[in-house]
Structure formats: C-alpha cells, structure tokens
C-alpha cells in the first residue's frame, strides 16, 4: 500500500473512485470490531467510514484515511496520544490495504493477522436526537445571545437555537443546530461561542465540554440525546441532568462511561481530565 501523508485537516477529499463492484457498499459504516491474532483489540471510540463513488473516507484511531481499498491511500498526519491509539492506527491502515467483502450486512477486511469489521450506520437527523431542534415553537433568534458590542463575536445564523437550563447564573446556555451540526452554544457577559459535533457522533458519544472555552471554566456540560435522558438522570455520580444537559460534577473522575437507552442503544459519556490553564502549564517549571 502506498500512503501519502498530508497536513492535519478535519476531513480528507476523496480522490480515487471505487470500482463498479463497490457501488453496493456506498453509504456510512461504523467500526463494529477489530481483531488482531484472533484477539479483540479495544478502540474505545466511535469510528465511521463513508463510501461514495469517489472512494472511501474513514476515521481511524488518530487520523483520517481516504482513497481506494487495496490501492493508493492518503492520510492526515496527526500524532497519536495515549493508550493503544498508535497500534490501532497501524492495524486499521493494514486492513485498508485489502479489498473488503460484505457478509450478512457487515463489511469485513482481512489482511494477515488483522480483521476489521464495519456495520452499516443510518445517520440520524439532529431532530431525531433532540426533538426540540425540530420544534419551531422552542427556538429563539440570535438576538437572545450576547450583543456583538459586548463580546466582539457575530453569531452565525443557526437553523435552531433552543434555550436550556444553565447550571450557572453567569452563563446562558443553548442547544443549537448549525447547518447539519449539533452545538452547545453559550453566552456570558463578555463572550459568545459554540462547540459543535456531527449527529452521528452526538448519537454515540457525549463529550463533556468546559465552558467558557479557552478560559477558566464555569461549568462542564455534555449534551445528552432525548433517548438517554433517563439513563443520564440516574448517573448522579457523574452529574445532574436536566433538559438534554448533563452538568458534570467537579469531582467526577476522568473516563468513559456508557449509558444505555431502553432499546439497547449505547452512548459513551467522555469526561476529560480537569482543565489546566495552558499559559500556566507552558511556563511552569518542574520540581527540582
């Protein structure tokens, strides 16, 4: 396999086409399992792949790979941080060096000691995850956000902007939709910003976000889709839940916690390590 390395980018343009036999494989797929030497290899994050007539584009444990299965492949060049991400990156790259086969609705790559299996994934619409985003009666205008004169920021034109209960009197909180992305939108006396994610990621993983972004946080919150409301409310060890927002406890340990809906769907709540001022971290000296 030939691999061309590119600068890190959010997504990679797909430059090579799939063959005629690959037309039936077009669509979105999600990693179901990775095995090495017949042993399961833990990935620990949702990874998706899109196949079109122009080729494939797949998220790996650290990067994006795109191109033609078993042919020339391009990759972003992000460093792998923590755990077994670097190993996973190598194994997935090895898998894409082979042509997959479709078996019982799964896409299977087998190359040497690596077996990578994908399952089809139906990407939900934002309103399928958060019903309020599809209800015009709940949405407000961008004028409800802090004024540009106070923040220096001009808000984008949101498809929907729904006020939700804020855990802090110093911050206004909104559930937003921007194009096809789902966003946490917030405003303070001096700042307005957002953190957005794709619906397919919002459906499978809720990452706790420190707000305000880039400064000493007032709150740490995660957006919870409707179907996981009861499961989130029951996890008082992680935080308090109200109206699609899980406010993470200050003493909640960093880690990955799985919530399960009534129909068996799973949502991973990812709590990162506590926020550290990057300026302090960059100027501090190690203990002698």
Helix-strand-coil percent breakdown of the chain, rounded to 5? 20, 35, 45
- pLDDT at position 6 is 42
For 66-124, how does the pLDDT look when each residue is reduced to its tens digit (9 = 90+)?
Answer: 999 989 999 998 888 777 899 999 999 999 999 999 998 899 999 999 999 999 999 99
Q: Give the phi and the psi of residue 93 in degrees, each rounded to 5.
A: -60, -40
Ranges of residues in the chain with a pLDDT under 50 are: 1-20, 288
Note the CATH architecture for domain 3-120.
Beta Barrel (2.40)
Q: Where are the domains of the chain?
A: 3-120, 126-278
Structural contact between residues 155 and 180, judged by C-beta atoms closer than 8 angstroms = no
Structural contact between residues 13 and 66, judged by C-beta atoms closer than 8 angstroms = yes
Structural contact between residues 245 and 232, judged by C-beta atoms closer than 8 angstroms = no
């Amino acid at each position: 396999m030939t691999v061309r390395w590119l600068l890190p980018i959010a997504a990679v343009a797909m430059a090579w086409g799939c063959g005629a036999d690959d037309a039936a494989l077009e669509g979105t797929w999600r990693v179901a399992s990775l095995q090495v030497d017949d042993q399961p290899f833990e990935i620990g994050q949702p990874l998706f792949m899109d196949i079109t007539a122009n080729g494939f584009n797949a998220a790996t444990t650290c990067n994006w790979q795109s191109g033609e299965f078993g042919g020339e492949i391009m990759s972003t060049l992000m460093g792998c941080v923590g755990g077994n991400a670097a190993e996973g990156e190598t194994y997935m790259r090895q898998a894409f060096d082979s042509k997959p086969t479709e078996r019982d609705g799964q896409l299977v790559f087998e190359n040497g000691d690596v077996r990578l299996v994908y399952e089809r994934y139906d990407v939900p619409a934002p309103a399928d995850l958060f019903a309020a985003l599809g209800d015009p009666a709940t949405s407000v205008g961008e004028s409800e956000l802090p004024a540009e004169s106070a923040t220096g920021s001009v808000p984008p034109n949101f498809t929907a902007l729904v006020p939700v209960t804020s855990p802090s009197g110093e911050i206004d909180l909104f559930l937003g939709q921007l194009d096809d992305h789902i966003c946490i939108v917030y405003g303070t006396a001096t700042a307005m910003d957002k953190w957005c994610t794709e619906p397919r990621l919002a459906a499978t993983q809720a990452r706790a976000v420190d707000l305000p972004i880039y400064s000493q946080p007032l709150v740490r919150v995660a957006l919870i889709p409707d179907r996981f409301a009861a499961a989130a409310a029951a996890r008082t060890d992680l935080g308090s839940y109200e109206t699609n927002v899980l406010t993470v406890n200050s003493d909640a340990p960093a880690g990955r916690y799985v919530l399960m809906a009534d129909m068996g769907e799973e949502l991973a709540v990812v709590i990162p390590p506590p926020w550290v001022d990057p300026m302090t971290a960059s100027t501090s000296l190690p203990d002698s």
